[in-house]
A = this chain, B = another copy of it.
């Protein structure tokens, strides 16, 4: 395969994945030597966040660092299989001082919450793939063309010949798997698949990841899906599809708020629909998730009108004090406006 100039100390005939980032990452690791390191992830962590935190924490621990994984929210049940004994702390449980911090998968400094931001006002490093990341750390490893933060991290580790054992490989693989929607979002590239192949060589197990992520649903989650499907309504001549979860639905179905993950994809999946949405009525107000089939609709801007944000194809928002009855027509109007 083609060489891109930079020739790292990895396996001799392997492609270089990140010719620009990888040498800088090696230098960053050298500079961190002797420091204790907090590996920080974002609120409501997903597979890419937890997978990247696990992989980076294990790498640093193997290099002799004392390491702590910090998250404002707990690790979701379905991602616990990645931890292999690694403990994740909420910021209020972390009291050590003078630690360096590396933020992963955080589009900005605030994504890890105010408490973590206040404790680490000047992060040593940031590894991320969000387009909007302006680089808030001293050393930024940001590539918006990558499908996942775990893709960048995997590439930089392999490029530099750093140790990737089976647990680390599985964490990185899971980050890539989840953030690509099982290898189908438009960021999925040749590099994504080559990295997946290399991670399998190092022990990543697609079947285990698939089982843990997609074959351990609760009956409550399936009841919640059923309720969501029953609520789906087409708007704007079938170009928008919205589903709602009214207050009390979690208790009624025996499900949890984290079980809403993935539901919005069913709204988008309808033929002819260009934007799908999920609106949840919670005690504190409305929470909504939006998904578009193409980036042109800039859902980050729609969410921004309600104080939210995100990506062009996937955005979210929280509006305190509203109900389904008041919010639904406002959202339909805002989305319809984007279609024109």
Contact = CB atoms under 8 A, between A and B. Distances in A.
Contact of A190 (B183, B197, B219): B197
A218 B271 contact: yes
A336 interface: no
Interface stretch (A86-94, A115-123, A155-163, A204-212): A204-212
A202 B194 CA distance: 14
A269 B216 CA distance: 6
Contacts of A230: 226
Contact of A215 (B1, B219, B269): B269
Contacts of A222: 229, 232, 266, 269-270
Contacts of A269: 214-217, 222
Interface string A154-184: 0000000000000000000000010001111
A266 B226 CA distance: 11
B196 A193 contact: yes
Interface size range of chain A in the complex: 35 or more
A84 interface: no
A188 B211 contact: no
A305 interface: no
B184 A207 contact: yes
Contacts of A209: 184
A53 to B, nearest CB: 23
Interface in A86-145: none
A13 interface: yes
A6 interface: no
A287 interface: no
A200 B193 contact: yes
Interface in A1-36: 1, 13-14
Contacts of A223: 229
A211 B14 CA distance: 32
12 contacts: A1-B14, A13-B13, A184-B210, A185-B207, A188-B206, A189-B200, A190-B197, A193-B197, A211-B293, A214-B269, A222-B229, A226-B229
Given A193-B196, A214-B269, 20 more contacts: A13-B13, A184-B207, A184-B209, A184-B210, A185-B207, A185-B210, A186-B206, A189-B200, A190-B197, A193-B197, A193-B200, A197-B197, A217-B269, A217-B271, A218-B270, A219-B270, A222-B229, A222-B232, A223-B229, A226-B229
